[in-house]
Amino acid sequence: MTNTKRRVPAVALVSAALLAGGAATSHAQSASGWTGQAGTAVSDGQGSDQTLAARWAACAAKVNNPHWSKGAKSVIFKTRVTCAGNIAKVHVKVIGKLYRKSGGRWKVVTASNQTEVKSTNGTVSTYYTPKKGGKRATLDGVYRGKITVRITSPFPGTKGKASSKAVKVNTPGK
């Protein structure tokens, strides 16, 4: 996805479910109109020859670069998720990990694991790493955020992964 100010990594997920009577898996995928990097479709296993519209949902996640947050008093990064589809709501799980480069190696300094119910109407939800009340990152350094995102229900979708750029973050100290 492209932002007019900067490019950010993005990941897209698809979860598809079929109405009673079923349709071929390929029909469920083409019904979504989605051509992203990660996708899945599930069948009800009935194998009916009836042509019915597939139920589907697709979510896209953008990872922002880590930065110092005055409010959180920590280095944080945000993940912004939007979903579309003909299933009204889906559960979206975002696992975020904030890494700091130390001694030439990347080490996890804080993490988050959040699942939210999202409408598939295109509204944006923001997930924070670390989440409020989580372990804070307060040292200067080079940071990178990484996420794993998945639609967990009503039917599980494909896992998507993305990461931010590695950026230098100066903190005001403890």
For position 173, what pLDDT does the model report?
A: 66
pLDDT in tens, 143-162: 999 999 999 999 888 899 99
pLDDT tens digits, residue range 65-120?
A: 999 999 999 999 999 999 999 999 999 999 999 999 999 999 999 999 999 999 99
With a CB cutoff of 8 Å and minimum separation 6, the contacts of 1 are 8, 10, 60, 62
Q: CA 150, CA 18: separation in Å to the nearest integer? A: 19
Tell whether 144 is covered by a domain: yes
Does 4 map to a domain? no
pLDDT digits (tens, 9 = 90+) for 19-78: 222 222 222 332 322 222 222 222 233 444 444 568 899 999 999 999 999 999 999 999
Task: Give the model confidence (pLDDT) of 129-139 as tens digits.
Answer: 999 999 999 99
Report the pLDDT value the prediction gives residue 79, as an integer from 0 to 100. Answer: 97
Residue 86, CB-side half-sphere exposure with 13 Å CA sphere? 14
SS3 at position 32: helix
How many domains is the chain built from? 1
For residue 117, the enclosing domain spans 10-169
Specify if 48 maps to a domain: yes
Global pTM reads 0.72
CATH number at residue 32: 2.60.40.10
Residue 174 lies in a domain: no
Phi, psi of 27 (to 5 degrees): -65, -40
